């Protein structure tokens, strides 16, 4: 399945940005700190020219954007933007690198097109990505202090050779930790006299009622019992359903038992899970579009103007698939299946890799200006401006009586852009701006006690996530902390890509009937062996053992 992700997921982060007085000096030092090949500017008064590759959200024009212009003025810079849309952003990023005509920097969106750890090591070792250590030491006190304070942040950013070739999007987001949620139309449940299902069998019975009993009351068989999308952050329908049978991490298809790594994709429980999902598909309970549609098509279904037609959807949060009717959809806790009741877990929703890198095309002045800009975004003021834009446009200061999400904290920021009916402002960078949002920062956002209020959405997501917390397996492969040796990174990256694509496509073929479980399962398993799943598991085991110091 395609693994770009849902752009609308960034809307929830409007709730968490605070303002504090932090400043960064203008100008750029004249000393060269890394061996970039770009030309130095002729005059210290002339703006530093910086070329940047970035994914551009709908409603944002980076060339005219308020925050872009703010950075240009503050740091005496002039951006030359190479912008791409969400669709195919990751592929376009790779084409940009492969062409040899790449920009000074990449500022990516973590859940859409950021570089993998394998990419970071590969291009760092090749000298395409410049090490940032000296730049950070000399020009980025906020980044330096954050990594000294938080060893996890440092581990995410530091390669095994001690070099920092790029910076991850560090957002400690509790509701992102369990992205694969299911949301059910409670208005339909009430109309049909149904309770929230607790088991996989009850879930199927609910979908059957949605399809057969005309819950929208228009006399037409237009109800869509269940749908999802092909992007990321919880919109795949299969992990939520598969987790009643065996753990589905929705990424590498790995699980651990007693410190040993294995794949789930060849186990009998995986086969039974596919059979269950296929039974839903065969009865018309799953929208075929769930396997091919993008975020725009998914939301169009949720926002259907004539009638409410959607019964349930997989998503990290409901605003991904519906605009004005989010209160009609409630989170469904993990289902109890024949073997399990798991929830897919990701550590704070932070993906390893790098959203920001500086290439060897950047001049010394561009390198310094870029690291100072990012350092500014490591302050509450900078992160707030970057994400939401100007004060009075995307955010405001709290008013008397307002409370933070964590009520023990002083509220620092209040959102001005509602999740429902959110309209683009072209003031901030939205998800592209996610650089440094530790949990204390996020939980100092204003959040109403009323979870259905305009400013109560983040509290609603926290409460929903509590239903999933603790349902992950006792042992998890800590992918977010693993760095592979450079010589194995390319091999593992190729194996992972090929295997996940094969597993994803085979699952769809089994579910839709292009492959038959009884007849084709053994050949599918042989295909996994032929694609070296055992070698991939071996590499992942070795990396895990090395991380524990148990590699003999």
pLDDT band at 308 (very low <50, low <70, confident <90, very high): very high
Predicted confidence (pLDDT) per residue in 141-171, tens digit: 999 999 999 998 998 999 888 999 999 999 8
Q: How many residues does the chain have?
A: 552
- In this prediction, residue 5 carries a pLDDT of 36
Considering only residues 200 and 20, tell me which one the structure prediction assigns the higher pLDDT.
200
**What are the residue ranges of helices labelled H in 195-319?**
200-212, 237-242, 268-282, 295-302
Residue 33 has pLDDT above 70, yes or no: no
Residue 29 has pLDDT above 50, yes or no: no
Looking at 225-239, 247-261, 411-425, 512-526, which range is the least confident one? 411-425
Closest alpha carbon to 414 in 66, 14, 21: 14
Residue 10 has pLDDT above 60, yes or no: no
- In this prediction, residue 36 carries a pLDDT of 53
**What are the residue ranges of helices labelled H in 267-318?**
268-282, 295-302
pLDDT band at 22 (very low <50, low <70, confident <90, very high): very low
E strands, 110-232, where? 170-171, 182-185, 224-227
**What are the residue ranges of helices labelled H in 43-116?**
66-74, 89-98, 110-113
Looking at 3-7, 181-185, 194-198, which range is the least confident one? 3-7
pLDDT band at 34 (very low <50, low <70, confident <90, very high): low
Looking at 27-31, 111-115, 147-151, 254-258, which range is the least confident one? 27-31
- In this prediction, residue 118 carries a pLDDT of 81
Residue 9 has pLDDT above 80, yes or no: no
Residue 99, judged by CB atoms within 10 A of its CB (0-12, 13-18, 19+), counts as exposed
- In this prediction, residue 72 carries a pLDDT of 98
For the chain, percent of residues with pLDDT exceeding 70: 90
**Residue 262: enclosing H or E segment and its boundaries?**
strand 260-263
- In this prediction, residue 465 carries a pLDDT of 96
For the chain, percent of residues with pLDDT exceeding 90: 76
Give, rounded to a whole angstrom, the gap between the first and last alpha carbons of the chain: 37
Q: What is the DSSP string of 7-37?
A: GGGGGGGGGG----------S--SS--S---
Predicted confidence (pLDDT) per residue in 84-110, tens digit: 988 889 999 999 999 999 999 999 998
Considering only residues 282 and 6, tell me which one the structure prediction assigns the higher pLDDT.
282
Cβ–Cβ < 8 Å for 540, 477:
yes
Q: What is the mean pLDDT of the chain?
A: 89
- In this prediction, residue 4 carries a pLDDT of 34
Residue 405 has pLDDT above 70, yes or no: yes
- In this prediction, residue 484 carries a pLDDT of 78
Mean pLDDT over residues 529-549, rounded?
Answer: 91
3-state secondary structure 517-551: HHHHHHHHHHHHHHCCHHHHHHHHHHHHHHHHCCC
Q: Model pTM? A: 0.80
- In this prediction, residue 319 carries a pLDDT of 93
- In this prediction, residue 87 carries a pLDDT of 83
Predicted confidence (pLDDT) per residue in 217-271, tens digit: 999 999 999 999 998 879 999 999 999 999 999 989 999 999 999 999 999 999 9
Residue 12 has pLDDT above 80, yes or no: no
In angstroms, the CA 78 to CA 373 distance is: 13
pLDDT band at 7 (very low <50, low <70, confident <90, very high): very low
- In this prediction, residue 398 carries a pLDDT of 94
pLDDT band at 45 (very low <50, low <70, confident <90, very high): confident
């Amino acid at each position: 399945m395609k693994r770009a992700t849902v752009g609308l997921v960034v809307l929830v982060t409007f709730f968490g940005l605070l303002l504090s007085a932090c400043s960064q000096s203008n100008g750029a030092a004249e000393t060269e700190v890394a061996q970039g090949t770009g030309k130095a500017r002729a005059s210290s008064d002339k703006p530093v020219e910086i070329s940047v590759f970035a994914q551009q959200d709908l409603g944002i024009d980076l060339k005219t954007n308020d925050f872009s212009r703010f950075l240009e003025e503050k740091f005496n810079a002039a951006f030359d933007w190479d912008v791409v849309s969400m669709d195919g952003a990751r592929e376009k990023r790779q084409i940009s690198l492969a062409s040899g005509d790449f920009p000074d920097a990449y500022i990516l969106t973590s859940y859409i097109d950021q570089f993998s750890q394998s990419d970071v090591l590969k291009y760092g070792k090749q000298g395409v990505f410049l090490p940032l250590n000296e730049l950070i030491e000399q020009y980025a006190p906020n980044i330096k202090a954050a990594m000294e304070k938080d060893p996890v942040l440092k581990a995410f950013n530091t390669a095994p050779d001690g070099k920092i070739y790029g910076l991850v999007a560090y957002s400690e987001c509790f509701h992102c930790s369990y992205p694969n949620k299911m949301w059910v139309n409670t208005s339909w449940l009430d109309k049909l006299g149904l309770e929230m299902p607790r088991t996989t069998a009850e879930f199927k019975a609910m979908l059957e009622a949605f399809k057969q009993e005309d819950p929208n009351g228009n006399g037409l068989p237009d109800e869509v019992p269940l749908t999802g999308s092909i992007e990321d952050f919880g919109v795949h329908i299969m992990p939520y359903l598969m987790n009643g049978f065996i753990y589905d991490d929705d990424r590498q298809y790995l699980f651990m038992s007693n410190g040993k790594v294995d794949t789930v994709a060849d186990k009998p429980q995986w086969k039974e899970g596919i059979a269950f999902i296929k039974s839903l598909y065969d009865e018309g309970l799953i929208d075929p579009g769930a396997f091919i549609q993008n975020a725009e098509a998914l939301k169009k279904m949720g926002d259907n103007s004539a009638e409410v037609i959607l019964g349930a959807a997989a998503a990290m949060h409901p605003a991904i698939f519906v605009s004005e009717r989010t209160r009609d959809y409630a989170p469904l806790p993990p289902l109890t299946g024949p073997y399990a009741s798991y929830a897919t877990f990701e550590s704070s929703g932070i993906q390893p890799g790098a959203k920001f890198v500086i290439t060897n095309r950047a001049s010394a002045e561009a390198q310094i200006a870029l690291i100072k800009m990012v350092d500014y975004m490591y302050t509450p003021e900078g992160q707030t401006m970057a994400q939401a834009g100007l004060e009075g446009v995307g955010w405001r200061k709290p008013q008397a009586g307002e409370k933070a999400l964590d009520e023990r904290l002083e509220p620092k920021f209040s959102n001005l852009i509602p999740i429902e009916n959110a309209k683009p402002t072209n003031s901030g960078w939205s998800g592209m701006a996610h650089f440094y949002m530790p949990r204390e920062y996020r939980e100092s956002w204003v959040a109403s006690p009323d979870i259905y209020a305009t400013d109560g959405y983040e509290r609603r997501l926290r409460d929903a996530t509590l239903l999933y917390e603790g349902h992950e397996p006792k042992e998890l492969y800590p992918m977010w902390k693993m760095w592979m040796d450079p010589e194995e990174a390319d091999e593992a990256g190729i194996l992972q890509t090929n295997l996940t694509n094969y597993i994803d496509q085979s699952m769809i073929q089994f579910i839709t009937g292009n492959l038959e479980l009884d007849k084709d399962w053994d050949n599918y398993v042989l295909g996994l062996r032929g694609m070296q799943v055992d070698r991939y598991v071996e590499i992942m085991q070795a990396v895990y053992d090395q991380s524990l110091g148990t590699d003999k």
